[in-house]
Amino acid sequence: MTLFEKIKTLYPEFTDDDHINSYVIQNDMDGKGEYLASWSHPTAPRPTEEQLQGVA
Protein backbone atom coordinates (compact mmCIF):
# COMPACT_ATOMS: atom_id res chain seq x y z
CA MET A 1 0.00 0.00 0.00
CA THR A 2 1.40 3.36 -0.98
CA LEU A 3 1.65 6.31 1.37
CA PHE A 4 -1.06 8.05 -0.60
CA GLU A 5 -3.36 5.08 -0.16
CA LYS A 6 -2.71 5.06 3.57
CA ILE A 7 -3.59 8.73 3.90
CA LYS A 8 -6.66 8.15 1.78
CA THR A 9 -7.69 5.39 4.16
CA LEU A 10 -7.09 7.53 7.25
CA TYR A 11 -8.95 10.48 5.76
CA PRO A 12 -11.68 9.12 3.44
CA GLU A 13 -13.40 12.49 3.48
CA PHE A 14 -10.47 14.17 1.74
CA THR A 15 -11.24 15.60 -1.67
CA ASP A 16 -8.84 15.72 -4.61
CA ASP A 17 -7.98 19.28 -3.61
CA ASP A 18 -7.20 18.15 -0.06
CA HIS A 19 -4.81 15.52 -1.36
CA ILE A 20 -3.15 17.90 -3.81
CA ASN A 21 -2.83 20.97 -1.62
CA SER A 22 -2.58 19.75 1.97
CA TYR A 23 0.52 17.61 2.02
CA VAL A 24 3.51 16.49 0.00
CA ILE A 25 4.62 12.91 -0.48
CA GLN A 26 8.19 12.84 -1.69
CA ASN A 27 10.49 10.16 -3.05
CA ASP A 28 14.16 11.09 -3.47
CA MET A 29 14.87 7.79 -5.22
CA ASP A 30 17.64 7.06 -2.73
CA GLY A 31 16.30 3.69 -1.71
CA LYS A 32 14.41 5.01 1.31
CA GLY A 33 11.08 5.18 -0.47
CA GLU A 34 8.25 7.64 -0.03
CA TYR A 35 7.92 9.89 2.98
CA LEU A 36 5.61 12.66 4.15
CA ALA A 37 7.64 15.78 3.42
CA SER A 38 5.10 18.34 4.64
CA TRP A 39 1.57 18.64 5.98
CA SER A 40 -0.54 21.80 5.94
CA HIS A 41 -4.17 20.72 6.12
CA PRO A 42 -6.12 23.41 8.01
CA THR A 43 -8.08 21.00 10.24
CA ALA A 44 -6.91 17.41 9.88
CA PRO A 45 -3.82 16.62 11.97
CA ARG A 46 -0.73 15.15 10.43
CA PRO A 47 -0.90 11.38 10.81
CA THR A 48 1.70 9.85 13.06
CA GLU A 49 4.08 7.13 11.97
CA GLU A 50 2.14 4.71 14.16
CA GLN A 51 -1.11 5.59 12.43
CA LEU A 52 0.43 5.18 9.00
CA GLN A 53 2.05 1.88 9.87
CA GLY A 54 -1.23 0.69 11.37
CA VAL A 55 -3.09 1.01 8.10
CA ALA A 56 -3.29 -2.37 6.48
Interface residues with another protein (CB under 8 A) are 2-5, 8, 16, 19-20, 24-30, 34, 37
List all residues 6 or more positions away from 2 whose beta carbon is below 8 Å from its beta carbon. Answer: 34
| CB of residue 15 to another protein, shortest distance in Å | 11
Please state the closest distance from residue 20 (CB atom) to another protein, in A. Answer: 5
Q: Where are the alpha helices (DSSP H) in the chain?
A: 3-10, 16-21, 49-54
Least distance (Å) from another protein to the CB of residue 27?
4
**5 or 54: CB nearest another protein:** 5
Judge whether 19 and 8 are in contact, CB under 8 Å.
yes
